[in-house]
């Protein structure tokens, strides 16, 4: 099973990626992990990426693509994989398609986690971080009435990333980037949307139900 997972920030994509990959016994390949592995492993690509990161610049597409290519060439990815964080746009999707084609492979499915914007805001903007131990509490889900950490007594604060305005902006950026990608895969007839609201296990169950018809 060769599968790509897409979804907005706050959709629980990382968690679902892990559960789905483990259910299917395929490696979860996320660009974040590939990046860290290359940088900490001191590979040529990692060193190259680091020169950009050290200057505060974005790592160019070619470098990311080369890292993804290396990772997908590894033994454990030959019978399937779940990609998380790549492709990010139609250009990358076309490169991925050509890459797989060269190896006699193709994507089986693109799973889109669907959560409406207000639900994402409710999830992220309700988060409060402990300034001492870093633990995260949720005003609604943890019924957090005071601004003290239940674990260590530290003061809680709202990270800039979790402020409603920032969350809404991230969602806009996501929609702009991802809408063309989603319609590209819809045209290829391999896109399936999964409702990502509700408990984690239920979302995984829905995802597995959506994946089953595409399994060879
Ligand atoms: Zn704390």
Do the annotations mark residue 196 as ligand-binding?
no
Residue 92: the pLDDT is 94
Say what the pLDDT of residue 177 is: 87
Nearest to 154 by CA among 172, 127, 141, 135: 135
Contact 59, 50 (CB under 8 A): no
Q: Give the integer Cα–Cα distance in Å for 214 and 112.
A: 15
Sorted by sequence, the CB contacts under 8 Å of residue 190 that are 6+ apart come out as 107, 108, 109, 110, 214
Give the Cα separation of 178 and 185 in Å (integer): 11
Would you state the pLDDT for residue 42? 94
> Within 13 A of 173's CA, how many CA atoms are on the CB side?
8
71 is in an annotated binding site: no
Helix pair 164-187, 90-102: axis angle to 10 deg: 40
Q: What is the distance between the alpha carbons of residues 181 and 168, in angstroms, rounded to a whole number?
A: 20
pLDDT at 104: 96
Residues 45-91 have pLDDT tens digits of 999 999 998 888 888 989 999 999 999 999 999 999 999 999 989 99
The catalytically annotated residue of 71, 127, 128, 206 is: 127
How far away, in angstroms, is 163 Cα from ligand 1 center?
20
pLDDT at 157: 96
Q: Give residue 53's pLDDT.
A: 84
Of 110, 117, 114, the C-alpha closest to 169 is: 117
pLDDT at 215: 84
Q: What residues in the chain have per-residue pLDDT under 50? A: none
Annotation says 170 is catalytic:
yes
Average pLDDT, the chain: 94
Whether 159 is catalytic = yes
Q: How far is the CA of 141 from the centre of ligand 1 (A)?
A: 17
């Amino acid at each position: 099973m060769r599968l790509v997972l897409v979804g907005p920030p706050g959709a629980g994509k990382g968690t679902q990626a892990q559960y789905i990959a483990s259910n299917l016994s395929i490696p979860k390949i996320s660009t974040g992990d590939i990046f860290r592995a290359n940088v900490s492993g001191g590979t040529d690509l990692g060193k190259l990426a680091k020169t950009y990161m050290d200057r505060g610049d974005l790592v160019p597409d070619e470098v990311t693509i080369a890292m993804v290519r290396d990772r997908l060439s590894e033994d454990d990815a030959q019978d399937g994989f779940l990609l998380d964080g790549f492709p990010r746009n139609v250009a990358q999707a076309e490169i991925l398609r050509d890459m797989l084609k060269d190896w006699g492979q193709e994507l089986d499915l693109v799973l889109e986690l669907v959560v409406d914007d207000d639900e994402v805001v409710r999830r992220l903007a309700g988060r409060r971080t402990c300034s001492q131990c870093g633990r995260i509490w949720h005003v609604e889900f943890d019924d957090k009435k005071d601004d003290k950490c239940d674990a260590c007594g530290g003061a809680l604060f709202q990270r800039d990333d979790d402020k409603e305005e920032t969350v809404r902006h991230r969602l806009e950026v996501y929609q702009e980037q991802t809408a063309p990608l989603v319609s590209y895969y819809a045209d290829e007839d391999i896109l399936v949307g999964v409702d990502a609201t509700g408990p984690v296990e239920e979302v995984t169950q829905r995802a597995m139900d959506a994946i089953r018809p595409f399994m060879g």
